[in-house]
Structure 1
């Protein structure tokens, strides 16, 4: 009896386990199907081409037409890496939103980072028909979609004309950024390939800067001398400036000259008078004595005139006049 009951219990337990396994079979199959569908979806997404346009310095002018969302990123930027999924979703919805989504790698396009004055990463711009606006809101999925779909970019002021990436001055700024990238590459070559220390690389750049500045300065001076040649100057010795004391002496000499001129006029008049007296008919002894006295006076005045003319003041006056 006991053996028979035991066999019955075993048979019953086995039948119950088989029924439970049959009941779990659909659940297992459904889980397997879900796993297969998920793997297929991931594989399809990985093989599907990205809808985010890659822009560089050769095709960035495409943004001057239509509506664009631009992201400036770098592979080494952690914030850019975290934004990548959201940015890919925005690119997948580009057709629905009727926009174009693009990203720019600043490591391969340093000129564009200078043209757009990118100072932090990631930097996002909204562009519509050549009007550039920088997006400074949250970088989550809903905020980006609302900014584009709700046209909230209209509340943001466009970039000023002097900072417009399409302007001439920003083109020159982009060249400076390219030059800085080139200098960084040269710096790394000097450190890695030639084994120079950091201060050695800086010394090379300093010497190159001084040499280049000297050459440019010489070229500028040569061009200026060619365009505006120097006028010929008078190389004759210039008289030394007259001091106040010398000027006073010259004025005194002028006064003496005036007195001499007046005395000469008086002498000329006296000579005429003498000639008239000689031609007159009266020849009295008194007249003769008077004539002798006049001759003596005239001789004395002539000697004094000669003394005055030979005085050092008169000679100095003549010298000053010749110098003038």
Structure 2
């Protein structure tokens, strides 16, 4: 008997999908080791196969946990819409579809205005994936259950024939056995999933299209063939590696978009400043020309005044000399 309580798989999975995205792989591997130490081989295998969520799916999972009432309302709206469709009530269908768009756009707008989810900036592309996933939750009850569970590995899309993930592939909705099931039934179901049986949605229903997956042959001892296990392990590694690469590239893309937006804003501010300075330069140039013309006129006036002053001074000198001569003659006349 282990010295501690066995790992609660449902709680462990929920905890995985609430962690920061970059910590998912390390945290998942830690849960796998702990579950294996508890003696739950099947549970450890199922945890090991959980794929790292895409950025969009991680955002959807957090939105589902942060806004459970809005998500529940969308799911209920989907039930009403399907009932109206069954009744062929066109007026009700139109009204509900309008309400669907209104509620979906309202929740997406809330996320957009916040600018981040769980401390992670949200790009326009991720907001588009969020809109598509919320729409899928309205249109399909299994998708609604998966979104409400908050365990998506890929964002969802509703297309004419059902639900696909954000890459256009058949949706793979992540879930473990629901809590509270008898352990024997749960282990049997988990073993079926681990050996390639039908996948389950978060509501415990068979995933659409999952029945098309083929089971590998099993040996009498119940183990998978070595080649199949190796192929599965290689496929799991490829999924993790490509998912990590997608995350890195999405992060780089978002960073480049931020840089481009910053550069565009700087260009716009620079263009506005140049236009302002051009207007100011035009005004100052006109003012300079006006002042320069006034200066030229003042210089001409100064030259004229200087010439007039010289002429007046010459006349004054002559007048002074004549006045002195007149005084001299008067003195001489008085002395006779």
| Normalised-by-shorter TM-score class | under 0.3
Higher relative contact order (CA 8 A, sep 6+): 2
Q: Which has the larger radius of gyration?
A: 1
TM-score (norm. length: structure 2): 0.17
TM-score (norm. length: structure 1): 0.17
